[in-house]
């Protein structure tokens, strides 16, 4: 409902729709097939000055905030979930700097990210520490005015394309989460290496890589926030504001799948009439549309809460993520069903939506972890009532 959106929201939505139809939809299937990074789409967003929607104006961005970011990601993802996350992961990588960086770090790094001159990735997960981010093994040891980083990261989304990385290591494993420290690392730093690229089921145009640090020396000025032991807090704060735009990716995928399903069932003839004339199909479409709209409004509510500076957004952000991504998986699967046998064929666009949707239930914190976040918040609220 356009009446519920501001002029600013509508500007970003309409501009992204134009860019999506011109630069994203025409290349989605081919880039899914080849796995090639969608530079043409990213460069088009760069030329339109869209790479810093979420970055404050004082650091070179548009200052559009969380809701506008969600709207942009949703529109991109309607056409291609992979290109949607290729764009959105720059927000994830830069959010630790926005929420936890020193002013000097913000001035140094954010303007280039906002202008699309540099892409940034987020390095938290490891082979042995995915959901359990406090048990990471990557180490950082002080050496004069520098830190020496050693360790390996897994699932670094956009790793093969990024110029900068927010990497999380521990300065003291015995301190658990209190030892975790963030570092801003340049791709060209000696000892830093982008490793194996994963062969993924969906979002195939996005390079998801292992990243390795082997005696990687960074200056102490590159400690995120300027202090040791703040990294876990910064990572969690970043994830709180990142989850709604992952949820927005899911909403876009669900809406895109629904749009395809509506068009196909109107065109497909069986028993002398369109498939959309059957009551069973109509009910499926109605349920799908209701779920998509409910997910969208929950995502927008979470985004508006973040933009308003609301405290304790973790529960609402987790709710938006778990609900929207479950909806995306359910709606895209139903859309495949409505296409019948053609839905299982790569000659048709719909199966890609289902493959792209699955990852949204896993990254940025699995949906099982989101339910833990939500339930803990509920219990805490109950105890203080």
Burial class (CB in 10 A: 0-12, 13-18, 19+), 269: exposed
Task: Supply the DSSP symbol for 130.
Answer: S
Q: Which residues of 26-40 are buried (b: 16+ CB within 10 A; e: fewer)?
A: ebbeebbeebebbee
Q: What single-letter DSSP state applies at residue 74?
A: H
Closest CA to 241 of 106, 92, 58: 92
Two structure tokens written together for 105: 């770090």
Active site residue 198: no
Q: In which residue are the tokens 């004339």 written?
A: 277
Write the DSSP string, 187-209.
TTSTTEEEEEEP--SS-TTS-EE
C-beta of residue 158 within 8 angstroms of C-beta of residue 165: no
| 290 vs 348: CA distance, rounded Å | 25
Catalytic member of 3, 58, 364, 381: 364
Helix axis angle for 231-267 and 65-79, nearest 10°, is: 40
Neighbours of 41 (CB within 10 A): 28
- The total of other beta-carbon atoms located within 10 Å of residue 10's CB is 12
Element (H, E) at 213: strand 208-219
Reading the block at residue 214, the tokens are 């082997």
With b for 16 or more beta-carbon neighbours within 10 A and e for fewer, the 208-230 pattern comes to: bbbbbbeebbbeeebbbbeebbb
Within 8 A by CB and 6+ apart from 65, the residues are 54, 303, 306, 307
What CA–CA distance (Å, rounded) separates 22 from 14? 13
Contact 164, 211 (CB under 8 A): no
Catalytic residues: 364
């Amino acid at each position: 409902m356009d009446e519920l959106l501001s002029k600013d929201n509508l500007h970003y939505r309409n501009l992204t729709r134009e860019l999506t139809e011109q630069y994203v939809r025409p290349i989605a299937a081919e880039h899914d097939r080849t796995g090639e990074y969608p530079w043409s789409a990213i460069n088009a967003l760069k030329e339109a000055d869209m790479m810093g929607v979420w970055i404050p104006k004082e650091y070179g961005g548009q200052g559009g905030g969380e809701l506008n970011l969600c709207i942009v990601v949703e529109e991109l993802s309607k056409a291609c979930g992979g290109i949607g996350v290729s764009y959105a992961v720059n927000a994830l990588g830069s959010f630790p700097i926005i929420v936890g960086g020193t002013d000097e770090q913000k001035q140094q790094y954010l303007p280039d990210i906002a202008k699309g001159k540099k892409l940034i990735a987020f390095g938290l997960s490891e082979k042995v520490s995915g959901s359990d981010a406090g048990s990471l093994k990557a180490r950082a040891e002080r050496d004069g005015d520098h830190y020496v980083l050693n360790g390996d990261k897994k699932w670094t989304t956009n790793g093969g394309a990024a110029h900068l990385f927010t990497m999380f290591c521990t300065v003291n494993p015995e301190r658990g989460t209190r030892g975790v420290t963030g570092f801003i690392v340049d791709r060209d730093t000696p000892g830093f290496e982008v490793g194996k690229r994963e062969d993924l089921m969906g979002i195939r145009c996005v390079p998801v890589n292992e990243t390795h640090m082997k005696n990687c020396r960074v200056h102490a000025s590159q400690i995120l926030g300027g202090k040791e032991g703040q990294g876990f807090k910064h990572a969690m704060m970043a994830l709180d504001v990142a989850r709604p735009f992952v949820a927005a990716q899911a909403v876009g995928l669900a809406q895109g799948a629904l749009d395809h399903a509506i068009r196909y069932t109107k065109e497909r003839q069986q028993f002398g009439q369109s498939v959309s004339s059957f009551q069973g199909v109509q009910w499926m479409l109605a349920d799908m549309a209701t779920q998509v709209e409910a997910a969208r409004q929950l995502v927008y509510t979470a985004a508006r809460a973040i933009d308003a500076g609301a405290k304790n957004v973790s529960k609402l952000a987790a709710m938006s993520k778990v609900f929207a991504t479950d909806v995306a998986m359910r709606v895209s699967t139903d859309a495949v069903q409505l296409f019948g046998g053609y839905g299982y064929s790569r000659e048709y666009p719909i199966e890609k939506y289902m493959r792209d949707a699955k990852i949204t239930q896993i990254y940025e914190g699995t949906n099982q972890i989101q339910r833990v976040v939500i339930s803990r918040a509920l219990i805490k609220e109950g105890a203080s009532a």
